[in-house]
Amino acid sequence: MRRREFITLIGGGAAWPLAARAQAKLPTIGFLIAGTPASHGAWFATLVQRLRELGWIEGRNLTIEYRWAEARNERFAEIAAEFVRRKVDVIVTSGTPAVMASKKATSVIPIVFPVAADPVGSGLVASLARPGGNVTGLSVQFTDLAGKRAELLREVVPGLRRLAIMVNVDDAGAVLDMREVQATARTLGLDVATLEIRRAEDIAPAFEALKGRADALYVCGDALVNTHRIRINTLAVGARLPTMHGFREYVEAGGLMSYGPNFPDLFRRAADDVDKILRGAKPSDIPVEQPTKFDFVINLTTAKALGLTVPPMLLARADEVIE
């Protein structure tokens, strides 16, 4: 979604007179957005668009409060606490740390997550079929896909023996992904170097420490690396490192390959959960769903920059090839 379209969506209520809105309190959704407009804005705009299709129009019969955490974990709790004070009707947020912060802030206000890596394993919900409590949404099941990604990377990188993994160790979902990749790498006989980051300032030093130690880089997705995905891919190409990612937006930003759930589709489906809650359903009764649409994307421009030849059979299997 283009920036102009997103601005139009988030500003949709601007034309409604304040007096008209003051007559009755509209249902209010609090968007705790883990990243920035550039990194996460298009996904949330997709959710807003789906809400419009379901009859919820910002400024007419719905209010949306937008808060951007800019990939700073300490902001999650602050924003969640603000939404509790403002008594919003639903909190929508993505990523395990942000969902966890929201859950700690309230056990009453419904929370919907379009994306969480392992909601059962991280304790966000009791089970996928019966979430219990005030939290529901969609699980991306990243750990189930880690092995597939490592194998795809090996198909593209001849003689792959040393795999580096970049992970924000403050993100529980990313850590689960890392552990699964490490396990897969061992079964494939690969040596593994793990790059632990916690903030944007750690990214460049991590690449410096990696020099000469890896043949490829697996990037564990989370709000921090998503927010800085262009920088990470630029550094990776500079270090001659082919990259594997969890979703297509990384490849659009210069990464080599991605395999994972289609995030816009997950955000659209999360809007359906929000709609049900606004109409009286309880989060505890709304099952956590799993992805149904997956994307395998290859960036041939990046492959050429790295001097790699992508096997024709692999190109034929890709859902999209960027040239």
Separation of alpha carbons 142 and 179, rounded Å: 11
**Whether residue 26 is found in the same domain as residue 117:** yes
> Do residues 7 and 102 share a domain?
yes
pLDDT tens across 101-127, in order? 999 999 999 999 999 988 998 889 999
Q: Which residues of 25-64 are buried (b: 16+ CB within 10 A; e: fewer)?
A: ebbbbbbbbbbbbebbbbbbbbbbbbbbeeebebbbebbb
Same domain, 105 and 28: yes
Same domain (yes/no): 240, 309? yes
Q: Average pLDDT, stretch 279-291?
A: 96
Reported confidence tier of residue 24, pLDDT bands at 50, 70, 90: low
pLDDT at residue 121 in the model: 84
Do residues 244 and 280 both lie within one domain? no
Per-residue pLDDT at 172: 85
Is the pLDDT confidence value at 158 over 60? yes
Q: What CATH number corresponds to the domain at position 55?
A: 3.40.50.2300
Q: What is the pLDDT of residue 3?
A: 44
For residues 78 and 147, membership in a common domain is answered with no
For 256-303, give the DSSP string: SEEEEE-HHHHHHHHHHHHHHHHTT--GGGSPPB----EEEEEEHHHH
pLDDT at res. 212: 86
82 plus 222 within the same structural domain: no
| Whether pLDDT at 93 is above 80 | yes
Between the alpha carbon of residue 228 and those of residues 71, 93, 191, the distances in Å are 9, 19, 26
Total count of domains within the chain: 2
Specify whether the CB–CB gap between 48 and 10 falls below 8 A: yes
Residue 271 sits in the same domain as residue 257? no
Co-location of 186 and 306 in the same domain: yes
Question: Is residue 104 a contact partner of residue 164, using CB atoms and an 8 Å limit?
Answer: no
Q: What is the mean pLDDT of residues 26-50?
A: 96
53 and 170 belong to one structural domain: no
> Is 172 in the same domain as 200?
yes
Mean pLDDT computed over 195-220: 94
Q: Which of 36-50, 67-81, 133-147, 239-253 is least confident?
A: 133-147
Give the pLDDT of residue 14: 39
Asked if pLDDT for residue 146 goes beyond 90, the answer is no
Stated pTM of the model: 0.84
Instruction: Please name the amino acid found at residue 170.
Output: D
Query: pLDDT: is 174 or 6 the higher one?
Result: 174
Cα separation of 224 and 222, whole Å?
A: 6
- Residue 92 pairs in a beta bridge with 31, 112
Beta-ladder partners of 166: 195, 219
Q: What is the CA radius of gyration of the chain?
A: 20
If asked whether residues 146 and 133 sit together in one domain, one would say no
Structural domain range at position 87: 3-139+262-292
pLDDT value at position 211? 86
